[in-house]
Amino acid sequence: MNATKQAQTPQPRPLPPAPSNMNEAWTTVVRRGGRKAQASLDPRLVPAAAAPQAMGRTVAGTKKKGRKPRKPRAPRSAAVVLELLPAAKEKGLTYGEVMAQARCSVDIDAIGVEGGIRVRHTANGARLLECPGADSGVAADKLATRLREILPDSQVVRIERPVRMAEIKVTGLDECATKVEVAAAIASQGNCALAQVKVGELRSCYSGTFTVWARCPVQAAILLATPPQGRPADSPGKLRVGWVIAHVQLQEARPWRCLRCFGTGHGLARCPSSVDRSGLCFRCGQPGHKAASCTAAAPHCVLCDAVKRRALF
Ligand SMILES: [Zn+2]
Ligand SMILES: [Zn+2]
Ligand SMILES: [Zn+2]
């Protein structure tokens, strides 16, 4: 009886024999001697030490082709938005007049805008003043400040300096790290204003460390997520928080989401949907609370639900 029981207990499967081609590669390379360069082109002939790295590279390459990651890129220009508010209409003020006033009062060359400004119209008719160049942020800041000085008060003309944001994941934080501390570290080491940094809730991981997601200007995110010199391109960047050196990874750009219908590709102001879901929780689809305070055990997608219902009836 004992013997049968023993026979029934599953035995660990014997490991397959170690691949022999690695050794073969070595011997082949050695045997061929002078033709090393040609031999290394054959994947079977790559020396054992180099093989895993080479394989990793090919895997990463094919992955990229299948589903291209939408990593945020640094903006090639910086913009200032000039918008006439309803009070301007009451006063009979037009964009033409305001733009003319701006042009004769602000010397853009003195501010440091090189190559002129491109003026475009936004969806709601406001003017988008684009300063070309990846490092034109400072000039755009100055332009916004000057426009606020010379144009009528903020109840009539709104001057905004929109900054493109990106999301980063900070891992490896210790238990004494706080949101405030992480935000301060991102601002000082990412070279951006503290007001532009938003840090989420810290979450504990299996390893006992903490992880947090944060939003900051794209340039800061790219700077922080850049691996230290000499490290592979896919390794994380570093962020010093307190005593700890945490890791920073740039997150994929998320699709533009409508706050009214939860659909993608358009904003609240131009929502074409007949359904208003703005009162529902984005995570579980129930009314009465928001996603940040959602206690539902599992997320529930209302968009998929609507598609299913349409298919049934
Ligand atoms: Zn919508
Ligand atoms: Zn919910
Ligand atoms: Zn869905």
Per-residue pLDDT of 68-95, as tens digits, reads 667 778 778 889 999 999 888 888 889 9
Are 127 and 193 found together in one domain? no
Binned at pLDDT 50, 70 and 90, residue 206 comes out as: confident
Q: How many A from CA of 252 to the centre of ligand 3?
A: 18
Report CA(252)–ligand 1 centroid distance (Å). 22
Count the domains in the chain. 4
SS3 category, 143: helix
C-beta separation of 219 from 74 below 8 A? yes
* Residue 63 falls inside a structural domain: no
In a domain, 56, yes or no: no
Give the best-scoring range by mean pLDDT among 80-89, 128-137, 183-192: 183-192
Note residues around ion ligand 3 (Cβ under 5 angstroms).
301, 303-304
* Cα–Cα distance for residue pair 4/82, rounded to 1 Å: 85
Closest-approaching ligand to the CA atom of 295: 2
Does residue 2 lie in a domain region?
no
Query: What's the Cα-to-Cα distance from 63 to each of 44, 58, 72, 73, 110, rounded to whole Å?
Result: 22, 9, 18, 20, 48
Q: Which of 122, 139, 160 corresponds to the end of one domain?
A: 160
Phi, psi of 200 (to 5 degrees): -80, -165
Q: Which of 32-41, 81-90, 233-242 has the lowest mean pLDDT?
A: 32-41
Residue 280 alpha carbon to ligand 2 centre in Å = 8
The pLDDT tens digits for 146-177 are 999 988 788 889 999 988 899 999 999 999 99
When mean pLDDT is compared across 48-57, 162-171, 174-183, the lowest value belongs to 48-57
More confident call, 240 vs 20? 240
115 and 143 fall within a common domain: yes
List, as own/partner pairs, every contact residues 177-184 make where C-beta atoms lie below 8 angstroms and the sequence separation is at least 24, other chains included.
177/202, 177/210, 177/212, 177/241, 177/242, 177/244, 177/246, 178/202, 179/212, 181/241, 181/242, 182/212, 182/214, 182/239, 182/241, 183/214
Residue 44 has pLDDT above 80, yes or no: no
Q: Which ligand is nearest to the CA of 259?
A: 1
Pair (214, 185) in one structural domain:
yes
Give dist(CA 87, CA 151) in Å, integer.
Answer: 14
pLDDT at residue 14 greater than cutoff 90: no
Q: What is the per-residue pLDDT for 52?
A: 39
Do 152 and 169 sit in the same domain of this protein? no
Q: What angle do CA 162, 165, 170 make, to 5 degrees?
A: 150
Helix then strand then coil, % of the chain, to nearest 5: 40, 20, 45
Which ligand is closest to the CA of 302, given by its number? 3
C-alpha of residue 46 to centroid of ligand 3, in Å: 45
CA of 302 to the centre of ligand 3 (A): 7
Q: Do the domain assignments include residue 114?
A: yes
Q: Average pLDDT in the 228-248 region?
A: 94
Residue at 285 is within a domain: yes
The residue from 160, 194, 226 where one domain ends is 160
In this prediction, residue 43 carries a pLDDT of 40
Same domain membership, residue 127 and residue 155:
yes
Domain match, 81 and 112 both = yes
Q: Assess whether 145 and 213 both reside in one domain.
A: no
**CA 257–ligand 1 middle distance (angstroms):** 8
Pick from 21-35, 167-181, 208-222: least confident: 21-35
127 & 183 share domain: no
Q: How far is the CA of 309 from the centre of ligand 2 (A)?
A: 20
Å from CA of 300 to ligand 3 middle: 8
Q: Which of 160, 186, 201 is a domain's end point?
A: 160
Q: Could you tell me the residue range of the domain that residue 34 belongs to?
A: 20-46
Enter the ipTM.
0.85
